[in-house]
Amino acid sequence: MPKYLVIVESPSKAKTISKILGKDYIVKASVGHVRDLPKNKLGVNVRKNFEPLYEILKDKEPIVAELKEAAASVDKVFLAPDPDREGEAIAWHLSEILDLPKKKVHRIEFNEITKDAVLAAIKAPRQIDKRLVDAQQARRVLDRLVGYKISPLLWRKVNGRSAGRVQSVAVRLICARETDVDGFTPQEYWTIKAELSRARTKTFFTAPLSKWQGKRVIAASEKATDKSLVVGSKKFADEIVKKTEKQEFTVISVNEKTSQRSPQAPFITSTLQREASTFLGYTVKKTMQVAQTLYEGVELPEGASGLITYMRTDSTRVSQQAQDDAKKFIVAAYGKKYYPDKPRVYARKGKSVQDAHEAIRPAYPERKPESLKQYLSPDQYKVYKLIWERFMASQMASAEILTRSVEISAGDAVFRASASEKKFAGFTIVYDRLSKDVATESGSQEDANEEEEATNLPELTKGEALKLKDFKSDQHFTQPPPRYTEASLIKTLEELEIGRPSTYSATVSTIVDRKYVERQQKALVPTKLGIAVNALLVEHFGNIVDVGFTAEMERQLDHVEEDKVDWHLMLKGFYQPFNETLKKAEENMNKVLILSDQLCPICGQAMAIRSSRFGQFLGCVGYPECKTKIALTKEGLPVPEDRPSEEKCKTCASPMLIRYGRYGDYLACSSEECTEQRPILKLTGVDCPRAGCGGAIVEKKSRHGKMFYGCSNYSLNQCTSAYWYPPIVSGGPNNSNKCPKCGTMLVYKLLKRGDQVACAAKECDFAELITGKEIYAGQKKDVPAEVPV
């Protein structure tokens, strides 16, 4: 019988730790929070010092019963949720629910799920940190008060879905940026470049105009001074060219400068999210999901192990052991000159930085991404590679850059060209990504007269005469401020000290799910609903959506954690003025209609966007006299009318119609007396392998949204053939899609250790590595994409 129980948050984490600890330990997962505030009421006793009224979550009751039974049969219980406020709160809730003697319950934490880290944590248990618990409770109660009090008001006045302490500030930032974009007036400006060469060569280089008549030439977007000017028209540009083209071009200065480029700090949560967005195109949510799997553990030949440290952190601190491991690897792999004179230490400034954890780094610095590729999914490999390279580079020597710049005079004009080269690669041998400036993340152009690197810049000497080949004048217009992307929004929230690493992903997901914001490519754009809700909140709850006020609340929560402020007093100080504001808003807030572009097909009046618990719809503004409603798709478009199909009803032989439902298009019988419905299936081009079935293998989705492949007769309960992996269409062994051993269907297995072609039959063991000739379902272009079955 096991002697000890370890409780973690996730099943995959439990699986990894179980393999590390062995048979004396039983490891179980709480699957997140097991106790929380109730869903259908406020759950906070405001009059009784803001006491939270917790209850066990309905879907967690079986888990709680299982944990209680397991805890009763062991000598010790180790509570091991994540090492942050949320994890500490989960540990506290578990200790309250299990109701065990204090000497039997121990809190342990580890920053990485490796054998050494887990065993070290078991040897050094501690008591639950009530300060962390109080900070989490204060945050939870504060968010509940804001959300539960304002949301019903928004629902009545504007059909808004919800309000939130951090999400509403994020929407305000996005709306303010949209106002700036809409109100932007482009300004024209021109750049002039001279194509020049040495006297006896045909190789030309380009030098932009940098000064005219002693004044610095700038873009229209730059701040003008009495010592600068903008070439604001074609007439002015042509005048400069005309006055300059007959002049002698002479080198008046040559400068060389060596500079050092230092590596960036290892990742924290926000910088990982930004970098993954910029270079991998991942959403914040996807980045955190992939990082979570790397933290919780991956199956390796020597056993399951976590590959990165905890991924919700705002600290750039690195442990001494990790620094030593990195130094050992760098010196062995690249040489001593690639390691700095002393280890690098990265300190983050800011009142809200929590330094309890390390930066995000590889758990085993010596494990290069290529050595683990066969054990990782493509997404895991890309994120691990990003983390490993950034960390390793952060511990390496600076790069040395030699910059050569020359100035060339021609009458009243001065042209400037520069070029740089690496004299010593340093850390860039590992990681040479330079994050795009936030101003260009959503696709806006950079200022056109920003100094460019000159190609083919020769070695020039002062006083040397140059030949003019041609002038190139280009028209430009200033660009509006860029809309926020997920990456730039998170950067802004972090700089304003709003939210925490654990909340960034949820904040972005919430404002998109609530239809306050929509993604247009990478940009976040407010919807009509988002703009209306934001306007009401700014007018009636200015403090709640005020950047400074929200940042101050974050600092107050930090003070609770540091035991400087009592959380009950902090909530009292917030709630009294908030409650007064709420009463005034109830009296003064007018109902707002969000009009669509559609007109009512019955009375011709405008249609307004409204919400119900089933989603958004269009309703006539003439209600209740006109009760016309038009359902909307998930994309916010009017639901299409029924369309004819070539299919016949199998029950009554009437024509089938293509109809739109909550899950998309489906087939429905046109006869009012008949209720037959069936899905529109995606064929794979492979017949069902079951003898006598006669069905086809089609793409399907489980109730959880996961793709699988099943027989077209599956929904009719006539055949149970179903597979997680896509069937091979052609190109298998002997250029067939049949198993060479038993003749049944082959499937394409995407595995960490290498993709395989394998038999679909459970009783057959045929499997071999792919050759690259295989075509599997969803890949072959001549298979019909959507065919009614």
Q: Is 318 helix (H, G, I), strand (E, B) or coil?
A: coil
Is residue 493 within 8 A of residue 274, CB to CB? The reply is no
Which of 93, 187, 89 has the alpha carbon at shortest distance from 140?
Answer: 89
In terms of Cβ atoms closer than 10 Å to its own Cβ (0-12, 13-18, 19+), residue 238 is: middle
Place of tokens 């032989």: 653
Which is it for strands 215-217 and 205-212: parallel, antiparallel or unpaired? antiparallel
Name the burial class of residue 69, with classes exposed (0-12), middle (13-18) and buried (19+) by CB atoms within 10 angstroms of its CB: exposed
DSSP for 603-642, written as a single string? T--EEEEEEETTEEEEEETTTTT---EEEB-TTSSBPPPP
* DSSP strand pairing (105-107 vs 76-79): parallel
> In whole angstroms, what is the distance from residue 143 CA to residue 124 CA?
34
719, 690 Cβ separation under 8 angstroms = yes
Which run of H or E residues covers position 668? strand 664-669
Spatial contact of 483 and 524, defined as CB atoms under 8 Å apart: yes
According to DSSP, the residues that pair with 720 across neighbouring strands are: none
- Given a contact cutoff of 8 angstroms between Cβ atoms, the answer to whether 231 and 210 are in contact is no
Q: Return the DSSP state at 774.
A: -
User: CB–CB of 268/359 below 8 Å?
Assistant: yes
Sole residue written with tokens 């330990």: 25
Closest CA to 27 of 99, 85, 81, 97: 81
Spatial distance between the Cα atoms of 582 and 578, rounded to a whole number of angstroms: 6
Burial class (CB within 10 angstroms; exposed 0-12, middle 13-18, buried 19+) of 424: middle
For residues 675 and 649, give the distance between their C-alpha atoms in angstroms, rounded to a whole number.
Answer: 10
Task: Go through 481-502 and write b for each residue having 16 or more CB atoms within 10 A of its CB, e for each that does not.
Answer: ebbbbbbbbbbbbbeebbbbbb
Given a contact cutoff of 8 angstroms between Cβ atoms, the answer to whether 128 and 114 are in contact is no
- Beta pairing partners, 267: 360
| Structure token digits, residue 309 | 């440290």
Q: Which residue's structure tokens are 């899950």?
A: 663
How many Å from the N-terminal Cα to the C-terminal Cα in the chain?
A: 54
Q: Which residues contact 263 (CB under 8 A, 6 or more apart)?
A: 344, 393, 394, 395, 396, 398, 426, 427, 431
In 3D, which of 774, 732, 769, 725 has the Cα closest to residue 747?
725
Cα of 82 vs its chain's centroid, Å: 20
CB burial of residue 285 (10 Å; 0-12, 13-18, 19+): middle
Tokens of 207: 């030098």
Measured distance CA(667)–CA(669) in Å, rounded: 7
- Tell me which residues are annotated as active site: 310
SS3 245: coil
How far is C-alpha 249 from the chain's CA centre?
52
**Buried b / exposed e across 165-201, counting CB within 10 Å, b at 16+?**
bbbbbbbbbbbbbbeebeeeeeeebbbbbbebbbeee
